[in-house]
Structure 1
């Protein structure tokens, strides 16, 4: 257990370094915004493209894996939605809470960390989780929030939804990389070195940006944020573990990667969505702060269980 904690500690130390730099104002908010944009559009996209371009596309898609993740995550989404509606929240706010409770920081934290901790074979499962989160559950959130607004139906969200998917560099880079792999195109040496150099900036840049973004958050609306954090860090990995290992009989290694991805704290892009829709912004912000802090202890426990079972 101590060994796993020490392996994950450098990743969280990078997050802490970003927080300290931003909290001290040595790294101003404008710098955080530009660093995040660099990681999102360039470094992380290069990493995802390079990873995807090396995959065996014929073996990538596993229906059992996708069904297990969809069912486990969907069950937690329903629970979080039901609790929010029981608290008499409007449909849009309830949908945002449910989305927050099931969307982990797979892009900025999961891709770099899980590949290092669990090996190169984790790339495919992590990318499948990331794709399902970005496409299916983000689409569900957009449709529900739009439908909840007076005078607008769900179909009004289709245009922005499609543009959001097409304009997301993580999705575009993964699709482009998979297309490259599917056609078995050769990777020229200069291009491969370029992608490796640029992609190498993704891990430190993303983790530093996560920490820097947390420095500007205040802990308000603590009760719902604590509930969301418990759902995300405990119930979500438990649910996908049950569906993967006990119902759909997913390969143990792939199931472990799925559980690890589900154990990650709330993703920063959920805050961007909350701001865009003007829904539950403070709750989402606090949930990101609380879940990220708590994940310093919870993620090593999950990784330890996965690697020793």
Structure 2
């Protein structure tokens, strides 16, 4: 595990540097917001487009892979939701906690880190995991919260979900990249170089932005946050590993990438959703803070295992 830890440490050191800059106010919340916007709309989108444009759909999509990941996620999602219901909190809060248990920071941490550590062949499986997280589970939490607040499901929510996906640059960049790949044409060299140059900023920019954003988060409701971090860092990769390796017999390398992606800490976009709907944002904030700190060891352990 130690060699892998040495390889992952630089990534988490960048997060730590961002955390320090945010903590001492060298990087203000406004600066963090603009850096995040640059990474989200430009650098990461360029990286995702370049990956997708140089891959075929068959290299990204696999029904067996999708079913294995969805099944593993669903088991942990239902467990976290069931525990929340036993504590007699609202359904909306339960949905937010369940989201914390299965949605990892695949976009800002997983894509840059796993492709470097696991090789270029990890790009396709990572994009698949990211797509499922963004399309399936972001839709599920929106549907649950809307239904519980309005007491019914309305057709208008479908339009809201569709517009949300169309406005998400990660989804758009992957779709456009696959569309280009489908033409069978190579990406022109100057365009490919431009995307590579811009996409190279995604890794340091995203990791620094993660750290700077964590500096403003507090660790309230620590017991609940610790439970959700345990679900995300331990139970989620275990459930996904069982489904991928035992139930669905996913090809070994792709399964390893899926398990590594499942081991990532709670994603920042869960906090954005929680804050948007006004449902337990402090709980999510604490879960992100704790899971990110602990993941230095747990992610390294999982990557060491899947690469053994």
- What TM-score, normalized to structure 2? 0.98
Provide the rounded CA distance (Å) in 2 between the counterparts of 1:298 and 1:45: 28
1:229, distance to aligned residue in structure 2 (A): 0.2
Count, aligned residues: 308
Kindly provide the CA deviation profile for residues 213-260 of structure 1, in whole angstroms up to 9, marking residues without a partner as x: 000011101111011000000000000000000010000111000000
> Partner of 1:113: helix, strand, or coil?
helix
1:188, distance to aligned residue in structure 2 (A): 1.5
Deviates more, 1:152-161 or 1:53-62: 152-161
In structure 2, the residue matched to 1:168 is: 168
CA contact (8 A) 1:50 1:177 kept: yes
1:151, distance to aligned residue in structure 2 (A): 4.7
Provide the rounded CA distance (Å) in 1 between the counterparts of 2:150 and 2:202: 41
In structure 2, the residue matched to 1:203 is: 203
In structure 2, the residue matched to 1:101 is: 101
CA contact (8 A) 2:72 2:240 kept: yes
1:162, distance to aligned residue in structure 2 (A): 1.1
Deviates more, 1:63-72 or 1:156-165: 156-165
In structure 2, the residue matched to 1:249 is: 249
CA contact (8 A) 1:144 1:154 kept: no
CA contact (8 A) 1:92 1:144 kept: yes
1:60, distance to aligned residue in structure 2 (A): 2.8
In structure 1, the residue matched to 2:194 is: 194
Kindly provide the CA deviation profile for residues 30-69 of structure 1, in whole angstroms up to 9, marking residues without a partner as x: 0000000000000000000000000022343211101000
> Partner of 1:149: helix, strand, or coil?
helix
Provide the rounded CA distance (Å) in 1 between the counterparts of 2:303 and 2:217: 28
Alignment of 1:114-193 (within 5 A): 114-193=114-193
What are the ranges of 5 or more consecutive residues in structure 1 without an aligned counterpart? Answer: none
Provide the rounded CA distance (Å) in 1 between the counterparts of 2:163 and 2:241: 33
> Partner of 2:155: helix, strand, or coil?
helix
Provide the rounded CA distance (Å) in 1 between the counterparts of 2:9 and 2:110: 14
In structure 2, the residue matched to 1:37 is: 37
In structure 1, the residue matched to 2:58 is: 58
In structure 1, the residue matched to 2:303 is: 303
CA contact (8 A) 2:60 2:127 kept: no
- What TM-score, normalized to structure 1? 0.98
Provide the rounded CA distance (Å) in 2 between the counterparts of 1:268 and 1:102: 12
In structure 1, the residue matched to 2:290 is: 290
In structure 1, the residue matched to 2:49 is: 49
In structure 1, the residue matched to 2:84 is: 84
Provide the rounded CA distance (Å) in 1 between the counterparts of 2:154 and 2:148: 8
CA contact (8 A) 2:77 2:99 kept: yes
Provide the rounded CA distance (Å) in 2 between the counterparts of 1:233 and 1:186: 39
Provide the rounded CA distance (Å) in 2 between the counterparts of 1:121 and 1:97: 32
Deviates more, 1:56-65 or 1:192-201: 56-65
1:180, distance to aligned residue in structure 2 (A): 0.6
In structure 1, the residue matched to 2:68 is: 68
CA contact (8 A) 1:103 1:133 kept: yes
CA contact (8 A) 1:18 1:212 kept: yes
CA contact (8 A) 1:91 1:148 kept: yes
1:150, distance to aligned residue in structure 2 (A): 3.6
